[in-house]
Amino acid sequence: MNIIGIDPSLISTGLVVNGKMFNYCRESDAYNKTGLQKWYKLCEQYLTYRFVNYRNYSNYSEGEIIKLKDYDQITDLILSDIESNIDKPNPTKVGIEGYSFSSSAGDIIDLVTFSTLLRKKIFDYITKDIIVMSPSTLKQESCKLTYPPKDIGKRKQKLEWRNNEGVAGGSFTKRDIALSIIENANFTDDWSNHLKSISTTLLNSKVIKKPYEDVNDSYLIYHIIKSHIE
């Protein structure tokens, strides 16, 4: 079976197709005057970068149409990479992260437009087997992949999942998400080994930087889907 994990983002979409990893980002975010910026440079050998462009516009109406056209081009690029990396005779299952309503009003509206367009194209041209995973479910399932449950029930069994620092899965931050990859002994692929090799640098940063933030999410969605199939 083909397995795909996607974390859609306007400026840094993470995609994993049968283990191959992509990041769709703005070239201006990835590069500075001397070349690839630190975080993009660190992981360039593990990712395929696709650079996306957003055009300028002069008024609201023009902007709404231009954004739609830009989203159309970017989602076409994502679809092309998916189609090029799946075995078409085999069934395909897609996991895609839903929306975080903590975003500002303008950002969430644009993200909904982008994500809806992407989902529709996947539904029409790739597969109808799509799981939309809420951010809270992604956090909880990431915890379950790595850490064993504890029975906190007094009379009846009640299982709870927390990481080694005592953080409940449902309360995971981007740092905890990264840590769940680093501390998972069953992950032995290039991406997890890379994160383990730079764990001190990665986790000591105040925030998990792009492209790691979005790629980690798509990586875990991929493995969550895979674990449910296996």
Count Cβ atoms below 10 Å from residue 50 Cβ, excluding itself: 17
Q: Which two tokens stand for residue 16?
A: 């994993």
Count Cβ atoms below 10 Å from residue 158 Cβ, excluding itself: 11
Say how far apart CA 145 and CA 226 lie, in whole Å. Answer: 11
Residue 154: predicted pLDDT = 86
Question: Domain locations in the chain?
Answer: 2-229
From the number of C-beta atoms within 10 Å of its C-beta (0-12, 13-18, 19+), residue 209 rates as middle
- Indicate if the pLDDT at residue 214 is higher than 60: yes
**Lowest-confidence pick of 87-101, 165-179, 183-197:** 87-101
- Taking the model in full, what pTM does it have? 0.95
Q: What is the rounded average pLDDT of the residues 152-165?
A: 93
**Mean pLDDT across the chain:** 95
CATH classification number, 2-229, choose in 3.30.420.10, 3.30.300.30, 1.10.340.30, 2.40.160.20: 3.30.420.10
- Over residues 45-78, the pLDDT tens digits come to 999 999 999 999 999 999 999 999 999 999 999 9
Residue 230: predicted pLDDT = 74
User: 35-36 and 31-32 as β-strands: parallel, antiparallel, unpaired?
Assistant: antiparallel
Binned at pLDDT 50, 70 and 90, residue 103 comes out as low
